[in-house]
Amino acid sequence: MGEITKIAVAPPIQVGGSLFTPEQFATIGAALGTNVKIEMTPFKQLYLEVHLDQQELITAQLERSGLEVYPAGFVTKSLIACNFCKGAEEAGLEVAQRLNQSIAGIETPMPLKIGYAGCALGTSEPLLKDISVVKMRNTYEVFVGGEPKGLKTSIAQSLVSGLTEDQLVPVVTTLINYYKANAKGKEKFKKFIDRVTLEQLQQHVAGL
């Protein structure tokens, strides 16, 4: 039957949260056929098993239906965003969409969860993500080191605050690249921060 691979599928970042349409589910079903596995992940993505020789065709079908398709596995996941309950403009929907385009699908030593909250209510649980962004009125604050798994969970710490829209993407992508370049093997992001220290990360992004 050919080699099987996985792709990650998510709806666009939008007001209201992770919203699929019936037509999109119908497209998924028609593209995959029967006897396939579809996994709901903690990343707000669906993992679909597809035949490798059909991956490009299926990806094109899914994207035409308005879905976004990403690689699965050891990559930065698509942005785990809030529902933008304060409205698209006030909660920074366009900024979140731009951030997602910049970070989703980058190969990393371990899967990387990046969160976004449009206000300090933090309904998307940003402080439990590896890297997270919280909009604070007209500026942005970046947190690092959240870890929800295990018996010893960790709350993310503030890395830098008062960022403008233009500073945000460079800071987050710099963090990802620094992790890629300096992680030891399959080192989780939280352990990486503990080893290199928060202060060193702050110095690395200073001035961006």
Distance CA 176, CA 158 (A): 16
Region 187-207 average pLDDT: 94
Share of the chain above pLDDT 70, in %: 100
Question: Which 8-state DSSP code applies to residue 162?
Answer: E
Same domain, 180 and 135: yes
In 3D space, the residue among 126, 168, 175 whose CA is nearest the CA of residue 147 turns out to be: 126
Asked if residue 28 has pLDDT above 90, the reply is yes
What is the spatial distance between Cα 155 and Cα 36, in angstroms, rounded to a whole number?
Answer: 37
> Percentage of residues in the chain with pLDDT exceeding 90?
89
| Average pLDDT score over residue span 10-24 | 95
> Does the pLDDT at position 113 exceed 70?
yes
Q: What φ, ψ does residue 105 adopt, rounded to 5°?
A: 90, 10
Domain limits for position 58: 4-71
Q: What's the DSSP call for residue 126?
A: G
The enclosing domain of 122 has a CATH number of: 3.30.413.10
User: What is the pLDDT, as a whole number, of residue 34?
Assistant: 81
Of 66-70, 114-118, 146-150, 190-194, least confident by mean pLDDT is 146-150
Same-domain status, 86 and 65? no
Contact status, residue 73 vs residue 111, Cβ threshold 8 Å? yes
**CB–CB of 10/78 below 8 Å?**
yes
Q: Give residue 26's identity as a one-letter amino acid code.
A: A
Task: Tell me the pTM.
Answer: 0.93
What is the average per-residue pLDDT within 30-46?
90
Write out pLDDT tens, residues 72-88. Answer: 999 999 999 999 999 99
Q: Which amino acid, 184? A: K
Amino acid 1: pLDDT:
55
pLDDT, mean over the chain: 94
The answer to whether residues 31 and 106 belong to one domain is no
| Domain co-membership, 200 together with 168 | yes
Say how far apart CA 18 and CA 14 lie, in whole Å: 7
Q: Looking at the structure, do residues 23 and 67 belong to the same domain, yes or no?
A: yes
- Helix/strand/coil for 27: helix
3-class SS shares of the chain: helix, strand, coil, % to 5: 35, 25, 40
Tell me, yes or no, whether 42 and 104 share the same domain. Answer: no
- Helix or strand run (H / E) with residue 166: helix 165-182
| Together in a domain, 89 and 191 | yes
Average pLDDT of the segment spanning 23-30: 95
Closest CA to 112 of 67, 178, 18, 68: 178
**DSSP string covering 132-157:** EEEEETTEEEEEE--B-SSSS-B--E
Q: How many domains does the chain have?
A: 2
Verify that 58 and 103 share a domain, yes or no.
no
Q: How far apart are CA 114 and CA 102, in angstroms?
A: 12
The pLDDT assigned to 33 comes to: 84
pLDDT exceeds 70 at position 11: yes
- Pair 196, 140 in one domain: yes
pLDDT interval class at 54 (50, 70, 90): very high
